[in-house]
Chain A
Amino acid sequence: MSDISIPAGRLSDLANPTRFLGFAGRTVPWLSAGAAIILGIGLWLSFAAPPDYQQGTTVRIMYIHVPFAWLAMLCYTIMAVSALGTLVWRHPLADVALKSAAPIGASFTFLALVTGSIWGKPMWGTWWVWDARLTSVFILFLMYLGLIALTRALDDPQKSARAAAVLTLIGFINIPIIKFSVDWWNTLHQGESIFRLDGPTIAPSMLWPLAVMAIGFTILFFALHLSAMRAEILRRRVISMRRMAARRADNG
């Protein structure tokens, strides 16, 4: 028993909403400052990098499009882990994490679709094609919208928690489909060019700005997620305090 008591203790520390608020309060300023500095450097690198010999200056759109697409999938993966936290471990903050991540994931997915579309017009000659990669990311965006609606449809967050967790896990099947769509189907969207067994196929002068922007946006995502979780915990406190006030009023 004593062997598992230490990690279990740490887990229960994180599960305590009041302690989580303290943790988020200490962490968010550092994450925000880090994201601002790294994104500032990333922006400078993005516009200092040479234009691509084929894409010209539109290659700069890739420095934001690729991190947005990566975060669209990372956010959904975090929501799927949170869904397991709700269904399997009944972690008190799991539903808070799932619900507060959905609008952030929807925003990044929307931006991945829009920036990709803006790049596609001058490079492909069209704003949109229904190829496997674009369609599966569009489905991810619809999944986010559905989960936002579901997690906000009922006044009592406990009632929507299980349904949202089940729907999130069902929707997770889309993440490997997005990832491997460019391998499984013949798509207009290009194949994997960064995480390849034989190494990245991008020139270092363009890989660096991309890597720095990806790190910066990832830190920004965690700052936003922790802040949104804090707001959601406070919202649930307001609900429980209002219930107490109503009960007190009923009892005279």
Chain B
Amino acid sequence: MYAHWDYAYFVGAAYGISAVVLLGLIGWIVLDQRGRRREIAELEASGIRRRSDDKPKGSKQ
């Protein structure tokens, strides 16, 4: 049905698609994190702070 050298195309396609999907997933997660950090920085710059950021006395954080 397929010559043995044809198998290399199937192996290449499997590894290629996997690389594209995994690199896309990694990139999406990294960009998501950066985007949220930027939004928090912008909100803090405009004077918005979470109540939990007002550290209570005696807090170790």
Contacts and interface: CB of A to CB of B under 8 A. Distances in A.
Interface of A: 18, 56-58, 60-61, 64-65, 68, 103-104, 107, 110-111, 114-115, 118-119, 121-122, 125, 220, 224, 227-228, 230-231, 234-235, 237-238, 240-242, 244-245, 248
B7 A234 contact: no
23 contacts: A18-B52, A57-B4, A57-B8, A57-B11, A60-B15, A61-B15, A65-B14, A107-B21, A111-B18, A111-B21, A114-B14, A115-B17, A118-B10, A118-B13, A119-B10, A122-B1, A220-B22, A227-B29, A234-B37, A235-B32, A238-B36, A238-B40, A248-B48
A19 B14 CA distance: 39
Contacts of A107: 21-22, 25
Nearest to B51: A244
A6 B52 CA distance: 24
A64 B48 CA distance: 47
Interface residues of B, number: 35
Contact of B29 (A110, A115, A231): A231
Contacts of B6: 122
Contacts of A121: 10
A56 B29 CA distance: 36
Contacts of B17: 111, 114-115, 118
B37 to A, nearest CB: 6
Given A58-B11, A122-B2, A227-B30, A115 B36 contact: no
Contacts of A245: 43, 46, 48
B29 A228 contact: yes
Given A61-B15, A241-B44, 5 more contacts: A18-B52, A57-B7, A58-B10, A121-B10, A237-B50
A110 B39 CA distance: 32
